[in-house]
Structure 1
């Protein structure tokens, strides 16, 4: 696996869950990552804590780490490498991908350990 460049994004993020069958929320996207995922069982939202829907079940206190991209779809092992480094350091994560790249959320209290673990694995991390 080649060395990755990872940026720690500003702001506190939240992971939220809306009830099954909820309409997809319309959220501003200019201030950071916003992801809305719908399944037959739920609607999940990942966004800056200040903009998640008020009626959602919310788990806050997350920080966002983004792999600099774009990444080719043919690349393999990126998420596995990052997750393995964090798992070895005992850092829980929430992983997600977009068209261009991969993203990992870690609890704010674990951010320093996450950055250290990723750097020790040979990655370049900009905090």
Structure 2
């Protein structure tokens, strides 16, 4: 399987919301968090900025936009996110990547959104 086959003509949705990425004190993130990542040393929550930053946040990075690859990506597909990350890196776009069971999400800063959209267009994606 070639990742380019999924990207060419694949839809990428830009969420209308801005997100904050928060390092949380303790392990209980807000119930409304879009995503939560826990490891042995910290808990990170991605929250909708309209809902406010949780009081338990000890560090916050604001102004992130979520790009969702609206395609079901099989587990056997190797290198999908690597292709996306490489292409965005070439444009100087930093990413925060998340995966769900069947698809990937990439968060980019609001200031990098246009450059990210241009690069995804160059891969054949339909960005909406």
Specify the TM-score bucket, using the shorter chain as the normaliser: 0.7 to 0.9
CA distance in 2 between counterparts of 1:69 and 1:47 reads 23
Contact 2:30 2:54 in 1 (8 A): no
> Is 1:16 equivalent to 2:22 in the alignment?
yes
Contact 1:8 1:64 in 2 (8 A): yes
Partner of 1:115: 117
In structure 2, list runs of 5 or more residues that go unmatched. Answer: none
Alignment of 1:1-127 (within 5 A): 1-2=4-5, 3=8, 4-19=10-25, 22-28=26-32, 34-51=34-51, 52-56=53-57, 57-126=59-128
Q: After TM superposition, which residue ranges in structure 1, 4 or more long, deviate above 4 angstroms? A: none
- How many equivalent pairs are there? 120
In structure 1, list runs of 5 or more residues that go unmatched. Answer: none
Q: Which TM-score applies when normalising by structure 1? A: 0.86
Q: Which TM-score applies when normalising by structure 2? A: 0.86
